[in-house]
A and B are shown apart, each in its own frame.
Chain A
Amino acid sequence: MSEHNIKINKEKLDKIAEDVLKPVGFNNAYINWMLFLTVALMACIYAYVIQYREGLIVTGMRDMVSWGMYIANFVFFVATALVGMLISGVIGLLGYTWIKPITRIAEMIAVAFAAVAGLVIVSDMGRPERLHHVFLYGRVQSPILWDVTVVTTYLVISTLLYMLPLIPDLAIARGRMKNAPQWMLKLYKILSFNWTHHPKQYQLLFKATRLLIILVIPTAFAIHTVTSWLLAVNSRSGWDSTIFGPYFLTGAFVTGMGAVIIAVFFFRNNYKLRSYLDEPLFDKMGKLLEFVCVVYFYFNLNEFVVPAYKMKEFDAIHIHELFLGKHALMFWFCQICGLIVPMIVLLWKPFRKPVPLFVISLFVLVGAWFKRYIIVIPTMEHPFLPVQNLPNEWVVYQPTVIESAVTIGSIIMGIMIISVLAKLFPVIPIWEMAEEDEETKSKII
Chain B
Amino acid sequence: MNSDQLKKNEPAKSTGKNSRRDFMRKLGLIGAAATTGAVASGFTSQRTPEEEYVKVMTSDNKLVEIPKSQVKEVKLDTEALQSRGRLGIAGKRWVMVIDLAKCRNARECIKGCQEHHHLHPYQYHINTLVMQDNPQSAPYNMPKPCMHCDNPPCVSVCPVDATFKRQDGIVLIDNERCIGCRFCMAACPYSVRVFNWEEPFQAQLYEAQPMEYDVEANIPQKKGTITKCLFSADCLRGGDLPTCVRSCPNEVFYFGDENENAVTNGTTRETVVLSELLEKNAGYRLMEELGTKPRVYYLPPKDRVFEAPEKPDHHS
CA A326 – CA B316 in complex, angstroms? 9
Residues in A neighbouring B64, C-beta threshold 8 A: none
Residues in A neighbouring B301, C-beta threshold 8 A: none
Question: Are B186 and A380 in contact, CB atoms less than 8 angstroms apart?
Answer: yes
Q: Which of A63, A144, A317 contacts B183 (CB 8 A)?
A: A144
Q: Contact mask B93-132 → A, CB, 8 Å, 1/0?
A: 0000000000000000000000000000011100111110
Question: Are A62 and B197 in contact, CB atoms less than 8 angstroms apart?
Answer: yes
Question: Are A55 and B189 in contact, CB atoms less than 8 angstroms apart?
Answer: no
Question: Are B196 and A63 in contact, CB atoms less than 8 angstroms apart?
Answer: no
Question: Which of A77-85, A220-228, A232-240, A429-437 makes up part of the contact surface?
Answer: A232-240
| B198 in contact (CB, < 8 A) | yes
Residues in A neighbouring B123, C-beta threshold 8 A: 63
In residues 165-191 of chain B, which contact A (Cβ within 8 Å)? 177-183, 185-187, 189-191
CA A211 – CA B201 in complex, angstroms? 56
Question: Are B196 and A126 in contact, CB atoms less than 8 angstroms apart?
Answer: yes
Residues in A neighbouring B190, C-beta threshold 8 A: 384-385
CA A326 – CA B315 in complex, angstroms? 13
Question: Are B195 and A66 in contact, CB atoms less than 8 angstroms apart?
Answer: yes
Question: Are A133 and B129 in contact, CB atoms less than 8 angstroms apart?
Answer: no
Question: Are B197 and A236 in contact, CB atoms less than 8 angstroms apart?
Answer: no
**Interface residues in A, total, Cβ within 8 A:** 53
CA A235 – CA B185 in complex, angstroms? 12
| B157 in contact (CB, < 8 A) | yes
B124 to chain A: closest residue by CB? A389
Question: Are A126 and B177 in contact, CB atoms less than 8 angstroms apart?
Answer: no
Q: Which of B178, B191, B315 contacts A126 (CB 8 A)?
A: B178
| A315 in contact (CB, < 8 A) | no
B182 to chain A: closest residue by CB? A66
Question: Are B186 and A384 in contact, CB atoms less than 8 angstroms apart?
Answer: no
Interface-central residue, B179, B194, B198, B199, by most chain A CB under 10 Å? B179
A141 and B156 contact, Cβ closer than 8 Å, known pairs A126-B180, A394-B122: yes
CA A139 – CA B165 in complex, angstroms? 14
B192 to chain A: closest residue by CB? A385
Q: Does more than half of chain B's interface fall in helix, strand or loop, or is it mixed?
A: loop
Question: Are A133 and B179 in contact, CB atoms less than 8 angstroms apart?
Answer: yes
Q: Shortest CB–CB separation between residue A97 and chain B, in angstroms?
A: 43
Question: Are B186 and A57 in contact, CB atoms less than 8 angstroms apart?
Answer: no
| B290 in contact (CB, < 8 A) | yes
Question: Are B316 and A317 in contact, CB atoms less than 8 angstroms apart?
Answer: yes
In residues 121-146 of chain B, which contact A (Cβ within 8 Å)? 122-124, 127-131, 144
Question: Are B182 and A142 in contact, CB atoms less than 8 angstroms apart?
Answer: no
Question: Are B198 and A54 in contact, CB atoms less than 8 angstroms apart?
Answer: yes
CA A144 – CA B160 in complex, angstroms? 9
A384 and B191 contact, Cβ closer than 8 Å, known pairs A142-B159, A234-B186: yes
CA A55 – CA B198 in complex, angstroms? 5
Question: Are A134 and B159 in contact, CB atoms less than 8 angstroms apart?
Answer: yes
Question: Are B177 and A137 in contact, CB atoms less than 8 angstroms apart?
Answer: yes
A390 and B122 contact, Cβ closer than 8 Å, known pairs A57-B197, A235-B290, A385-B129: yes
| B235 in contact (CB, < 8 A) | no
| A64 in contact (CB, < 8 A) | yes
Question: Are A142 and B157 in contact, CB atoms less than 8 angstroms apart?
Answer: yes
Question: Are A133 and B160 in contact, CB atoms less than 8 angstroms apart?
Answer: yes
Q: Which of B122, B181, B197 contacts A144 (CB 8 A)?
A: B181
Residues in B neighbouring A325, C-beta threshold 8 A: 316
Q: Shortest CB–CB separation between residue B225 and chain A, in angstroms?
A: 6
Residues in B neighbouring A127, C-beta threshold 8 A: 178-180, 224-225
CA A384 – CA B130 in complex, angstroms? 14
Q: Shortest CB–CB separation between residue B98 and chain A, in angstroms?
A: 14
Residues in A neighbouring B158, C-beta threshold 8 A: 139, 142
Question: Are A55 and B122 in contact, CB atoms less than 8 angstroms apart?
Answer: no
With A126-B179, A130-B179 known, 7 other A-B pairs at CB within 8 A are A55-B197, A63-B191, A125-B181, A134-B160, A139-B158, A145-B159, A388-B312
On B, residues with C-beta under 8 Å from A are 122-124, 127-131, 144, 153, 156-162, 177-183, 185-187, 189-191, 193-199, 223-225, 287, 290, 312, 314-316
Contacts A/B (CB < 8 Å), 21 sampled: A55-B224, A63-B185, A63-B195, A124-B182, A130-B177, A133-B162, A136-B160, A139-B161, A143-B157, A145-B159, A231-B186, A234-B157, A235-B153, A382-B315, A385-B190, A386-B314, A387-B315, A388-B130, A388-B312, A388-B315, A391-B122
